[in-house]
Structures are given as structure tokens and as C-alpha cells.
Structure 1
């Protein structure tokens, strides 16, 4: 999308959305913040600013569906800006903790086509010297309670040891490695701390 000269909310100050927007636009796609008018708004502020036309674009980094977009889409026509595969390839080549994701059609009112976009995986991060047994128990609790987590948000269906291995960009703690190996999954060398 051509953002030049437009009013764009890149996310609330210091938020994960602002961080992601910066890495994708400036860090990967060579779209400098200086080329558009930067606003730093929360999700609800994004929705309100789009409703009253005080911004042209708002960025959300959330698992769909999210209430602020759902609310916006019930009263205003929305357009979710897709990424090309080449753009996502540039992003993931530089920042492997991002991935492409196809938002299915009809997640939001008026969004009748799938939309290819950037995504990021939630990650548990701990000190390398945290007790191995504790990390093992935490890892086990997360992966063996997927049904409970799905009651909180349906995207927990992606919370699997296989996805942890596929999408982790940093080495795993020995406690996590122990649990995942018990599931019969091979840990790639890139995920074993040296």
C-alpha cells in the first residue's frame, strides 16, 4: 500500500504493534516513517480515528477476531490491506520470528476475501538459568491444556510443540527441549543453545 503522506497509526507507544510496524515497514520494506504522518494510537483509538477519518490507516497486531475491528466493521466499511508473498518473504528473511498468515474470508463484516498478512507467534521467554524442572512443568502445562486455552481464544489451536519448533527464532530452554523430545519431536540444532 502507498502510505506516502497519509496519516498512519503505527500502534500505541511502546507496544508490540508499534515494534512490529517499525520492523516491517522501516526494517524490511524500506517504508520510512518520515514518508507518512505518524500517529501512535491504541486499538480502540485506531477504530475511533478511522470512524471519524482522522487517520487513513491503523495497524493492529492481534489474533483475530478482535473486538475493536469487529465494532468498526459493523458501522463502517473496512479494507484490510494485504501483503504480497514477496513482501512477507522479505520480512521473514530478515526477522524469522514473523510468518505469513492468511486471514480467512468473513472474519470481519465486509471482509469477503482472504487476506494475506504478517503474523508473529507468542513466545514464553525466560532466563537461561531458570530451573529445568520448572520450565519442563510450564511447557507441559501449556501444551497439555490446549482445550482449556482454546476456551479463552480459538487461536490456541496453534499452540503445539510442532509449531513451537517450526516458528521459534531463539534457542529453547533445556526444560522445554526435554518435554518436546518426550513427544517424539526432533529438535533442530538451531534451537539448541550452544
Structure 2
């Protein structure tokens, strides 16, 4: 009888602890937003696929409403997150460095100090595509005055690729638009070339090469070296397996992408978002295969933005060091 009473007491105590823990977990959500939005980019680009899929994963895992929003891309996402118009966004390190210094083309003179890093995404290669029947097989083949689509205005591609091509001596007529729209224009002969800065495979190109013959144009060694010297990019090689068109790896340059958050978002909320993302890489790869590099080891590629305190907590709990200069005071 005494043994039974002891077991009953232990069971009651365990039940009380579970209830208390549940209540505590519930109270921890008291300052969480009721929903969240992720700033992505135009439809047909990797940001839109990656960001919308990631938003759905977070929403499902944490039981909170959320989704992706079409935007102008990395530069606009920095401004939207800084202003609190969206909770999260996707950006690249070049525009991020400009935003921190108050040199964003969307807000000159405004140092965007309400933008924090969350996690590394992938490298964005700068690549070029043209129809095979155009005869354009190299950058030097691009004729003077060619119409080139650079993606949405103020996107990473639109910010850096025109300057890159000018450095390489290309004269062009600049066009902007969503990637899907530009892919359609290329197929219809309305533009000559598309200059992409987007995660690979780029959905618009994958779709286009199913319908027609496409040339993926690589940088020569000399062109790559010149661009590496002039711009905040790294050497990159587009694997031949990325597209049906490629028979061997293509030489390119790239820039790292990071997910970002408003620095004023609740720490517990951002901790859980980081935890779900970093501990479910298999699910992230199901969102987009470029997420194979969405792993904590790659946090070292952010040297610009402070990490959100909620993200810092997860990284440090799991043995990853965040430099003091990338922590908020």
C-alpha cells in the first residue's frame, strides 16, 4: 500500500511538472508575433522558392502563421526588415555591407541598424544565359547595345552585374523585371541576354532549357580574375549537374546569402526559428537543393551584420562561436 502511494505521488508530481512546463512554454510565446512574413524576391527566382518554402517549414514546425512575400530582392529586403515591414528577409553580403554603412540605394544616408543575421543560406553565383541560336557563347560575344535583363531593380544582380559587365567592356541596354518574365522575354527574342545573380539551379533557366536550347556563359580565367579584384565576390564553379545544358563545370563568381531578421524580434521566437532551421537540413534541402550549405559551419561567411541574440543563443549552445563584434551590446 505504501509502495502504491509512493508511485501515485510520483505520478502526480510528474504530471504537475508536465503541466507547469507546458504552461511555461505557453507563456514564453506571449510576446511572439501572431504571424510573420519573409521578404523574398520575384517569382521564378531562387529567393522566392527558398524563402516561401522556409516560411512554410517554420509555420508548420512552430504552429504559427507565416509565408513568403514577393519583393525586389536583397536590397529591398534589408529596408523592409529594418523598417519592421517584414519580420524576416533574404539578402546577400554586398547589399548588407552597403546598408550597414548607410549606402543603400533605397535609403542613402540611413544606417540600417535594425537588421540582424540569422543563418547562412548559400552562395549566389553570377551567371549569364542566352539562347543557343543567338551565337553568344562568351562574354566577349555579347554585341554592343545588346539588351540584357538584370532582374528586379535594386536586386543583387541589378546592383552588381551591370558594373561587372561594364568592367569587362560590355556595352548594353539595361532591362529590369522578374526572372520568370525575363526568361519569357529571352525566349521570345525581346532581350538578348539574362545576367543572373541567384541561387542555382535558377528555376527560370531550368524551365527555359526544357523548352529551347540555351547557352550558359562562363567567365574566362582573365575575366574572373578582373572581377575578383574589383568587386566583393568569390571564385565559384557552377557544377555541370546544375543544368541539362552544361557539359562541364562553368567558371563564375559568387556572393554569400544570409537570412535576416529584425533585431527587435523576441529572442525566444528567433531562437526557435534558428533551431528549426539548423536542425532540419534534410527538410531545408527539400525546400531547395541549394540549402545543402544552410548549415551552422557557414556562419563564418557573415562578417557584416550582428547576429540576432536568439540565434546567438542557439549557436553557442551547440558549440559555434560568434565573434564579439557580431553580437549586439
Same fold (TM over 0.5): yes
1:183 aligns with 2:318: yes
Report the Cα distance in structure 1 between the residues aligned to 2:175 and 2:293, rounded to whole angstroms. 32
1:49 aligns with 2:189: no
Structure 1 residues 139 and 85: CA distance shift in structure 2, 3 A: farther
Matched with 1:172 is 307
Matched with 1:125 is 260
Matched with 2:85 is none
Matched with 2:244 is 109
1:150–1:157 contact (8 Å) kept in structure 2? yes
Where does 1:1-150 land on structure 2 (aligned, <5 Å)? Answer: 1-2=139-140, 4-14=144-154, 16=155, 19-26=156-163, 30-31=166-167, 35-83=171-219, 84-92=224-232, 98-150=233-285
Matched with 1:154 is 289
Report the Cα distance in structure 2 between the residues aligned to 1:102 and 1:37, rounded to whole angstroms. 27
Stretches (4+) displaced over 4 A: 28-32
Gaps of 5+ in 1: 93-97
Which secondary structure state, in structure 2, belongs to the residue aligned with residue 172 of structure 1? coil
Report the Cα distance in structure 1 between the residues aligned to 2:259 and 2:241, rounded to whole angstroms. 31
2:240–2:248 contact (8 Å) kept in structure 1? yes
2:149–2:174 contact (8 Å) kept in structure 1? yes
Structure 1 residues 191 and 136: CA distance shift in structure 2, 3 A: same
2:216–2:245 contact (8 Å) kept in structure 1? no
Q: Tell me the TM-score normalised to structure 1 length.
A: 0.78
Q: Tell me the TM-score normalised to structure 2 length.
A: 0.49
Gaps of 5+ in 2: 1-138
1:64–1:107 contact (8 Å) kept in structure 2? yes
Higher strand share: 2
Report the Cα distance in structure 1 between the residues aligned to 2:218 and 2:324, rounded to whole angstroms. 34
